[in-house]
């Protein structure tokens, strides 16, 4: 299949996917018969450009890496905002990678609804819309005969949603527990080595792990969004973000970390949800002091880990990158290849 793609938002994740598509072009064509042309890029800060015949993405990446606006691109139509790009370009597939707001889901929710309503596929790493309306959006995609993929909303390109949906199919998944935020895990790892909280956060931002507003990471809101998504998409429940008890890592001091060390323990921000006997859900995001013998205690850096509690296999754990430019960009390729396979 030949996709015509528009990027709505062009931060680190969108750029990461663009690099992968350029570097793996031949492999994707030969192995999967996957072909694509990027026809539009629209970003609230960087400006926008549209060419129905396709953009030279090497040039686009050069422009944004220099910190210049997309108006510097020599040809094409400039100035189309996200919604206009979705509605008025010849793109058949929208890559929605604007900033995340798990409280309202906007502006991504409107972008995605508009795209699906216009009969366009959507692949997105944006957690907001999935937290707010995963089921409704999947139904909307199905009734419009298009696809909505969001593998990257939990654990970036580490394929947890595909694991639960396809590979663990036939199991009853009763709950989960894991390290669901890369930024905080990175910060805790660096703090254990003696780095200050502020320096560690700055480094996590430089490496592209943190959200545009990192408060969401350190206060546990990002992990909370992932708990809601996993509960609703994998456990099939209808949890609201307000139903999850939450505490982030901002109150963990150097002294707390040293104390844990002397006790042979390690702080981790843990997100979990379990289906109770009566069918209700107990869900929370909370810092826990784990003994080093706990497998999650050994997961450092921006690596995430997720254990599913299943009826047939007991605990099944997947460990892998949970954030980062290429790692999250890659999750969008997983979704694109899935659409390619289905079509």
Binding site for ligand HSE (CB under 6 A): 156, 181-183, 209-211, 217, 222, 322-323
SS3 222: helix
Task: State which residue, 156 or 270, has the beta carbon closest to ligand HSE.
Answer: 156
How far does Cα 49 stand from its chain's mean position? 25
Q: How far is the CB of 256 from ligand HSE (least distance, A)?
A: 21
User: Maximum distance among all alpha carbons in the chain?
Assistant: 62
> Which letter, b or e, does each residue of 276-292 get, where b requires 16 or more Cβ atoms within 10 Å of its Cβ?
eeeeebebbbbbebbee
SS3 7: strand
Nearest to 190 by CA among 138, 105, 252, 246: 252
DSSP 256-321: HHHHHHHTTEEEEEEEEEEE-TTS-EEEEEEEEEEETTSGGGG--TTEEEEEEEETTTEEEEEEEE
Q: Is 226 a catalytic site residue?
A: yes
> Residue 326 and residue 58: Cα distance in Å, rounded?
16
Q: How far is the CB of 102 from ligand HSE (least distance, A)?
A: 11
Q: How far is the CB of 152 from ligand HSE (least distance, A)?
A: 8
Q: How far is the CB of 341 from ligand HSE (least distance, A)?
A: 25
Task: State which residue, 76 or 128, has the beta carbon closest to ligand HSE.
Answer: 128
Which contiguous run of DSSP H or E holds residue 32? helix 25-32
Is residue 118 exposed (0-12), middle (13-18) or buried (19+ Cβ within 10 Å)?
middle
Is residue 69 exposed (0-12), middle (13-18) or buried (19+ Cβ within 10 Å)?
middle
> Choosing from 4, 226, 265, 284, which is the catalytic residue?
226
Task: State which residue, 70 or 156, has the beta carbon closest to ligand HSE.
Answer: 156
SS3 5: strand
Q: At what angle do helices 325-342 and 25-32 cross, to 10 degrees?
A: 30
> Residue 315 and residue 23: Cα distance in Å, rounded?
37
Q: Are 148 and 121 in contact (CB under 8 A)?
A: yes
Q: Are 92 and 3 in contact (CB under 8 A)?
A: yes
Active site residues per annotation: 226
């Amino acid at each position: 299949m030949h996709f015509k793609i528009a990027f709505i938002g062009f931060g680190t994740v969108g750029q990461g996917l663009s690099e992968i598509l350029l570097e793996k072009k031949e492999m994707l064509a030969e192995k999967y018969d996957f072909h694509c042309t990027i026809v539009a890029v629209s970003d609230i800060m960087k400006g926008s450009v549209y060419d129905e015949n396709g953009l030279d993405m090497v040039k686009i990446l050069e422009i944004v890496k220099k910190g210049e606006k997309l108006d510097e691109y020599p040809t094409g139509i400039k100035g189309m905002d996200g919604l206009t790009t979705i509605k008025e370009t010849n793109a058949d597939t929208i890559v929605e990678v604007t900033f995340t707001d798990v409280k309202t889901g906007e502006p991504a929710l409107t972008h995605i609804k508009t795209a699906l309503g216009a009969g366009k596929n959507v692949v997105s790493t944006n957690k907001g819309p999935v937290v707010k309306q995963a089921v409704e959006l999947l139904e909307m995609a199905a009734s419009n005969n298009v696809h909505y993929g969001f593998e990257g909303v939990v654990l970036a390109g580490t394929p947890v949603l595909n694991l639960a949906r396809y590979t663990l199919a036939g199991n009853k998944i009763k709950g989960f527990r894991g390290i669901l935020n890369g930024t905080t895990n990175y910060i805790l790892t660096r703090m254990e080595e003696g780095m200050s909280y502020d320096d560690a956060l700055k480094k996590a931002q430089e490496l592209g792990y943190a959200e545009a507003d990192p408060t969401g990471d350190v206060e546990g809101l990002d992990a909370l969004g992932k708990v809601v998504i996993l509960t609703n998409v994998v456990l099939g429940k209808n949890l609201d973000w307000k139903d999850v008890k939450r505490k982030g890592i901002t109150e963990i001091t150097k002294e707390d970390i040293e104390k844990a060390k002397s006790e042979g323990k390690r702080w981790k921000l843990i997100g979990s949800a379990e289906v109770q006997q009566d069918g209700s859900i107990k869900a929370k995001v909370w810092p826990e002091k784990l003994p080093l013998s706990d497998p999650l205690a050994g997961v450092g850096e921006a690596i995430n880990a997720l254990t599913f509690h299943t009826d047939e296999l007991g605990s099944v754990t997947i460990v892998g990158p949970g954030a980062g430019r290429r790692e999250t960009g890659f999750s969008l390729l997983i979704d694109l290849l899935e659409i390619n396979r289905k079509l």
